[in-house]
Amino acid sequence: MIYYGRCHAHSGNGREVILIETLYTLIVSIVAGIISYYICKWLDGNDK
């Protein structure tokens, strides 16, 4: 996972940080899937 120089706030048990990192990972995975879908579609060309 890529970290962009952010600081973790000490808010207690850290559940908020885990939730944010999980949501970030989910969004990155979805975007990567969409990008790979269109790359495959582009490489296939006009094969329908």
**Vertex 28, ends 22 and 33: CA angle to 5°?**
125
Q: Are 17 and 8 in contact (CB under 8 A)?
A: yes
Cα end-to-end span (Å), the chain: 36
pLDDT in tens, 2-24: 555 555 555 566 677 888 999 99
Domain residue limits, the chain: 14-48
Q: Measure the CA–CA gap between 22 and 18, rounded to whole angstroms.
A: 6
In the structure encoding, which two tokens stand for residue 17, read together?
Answer: 């940080």
pLDDT of the residue at 34: 97
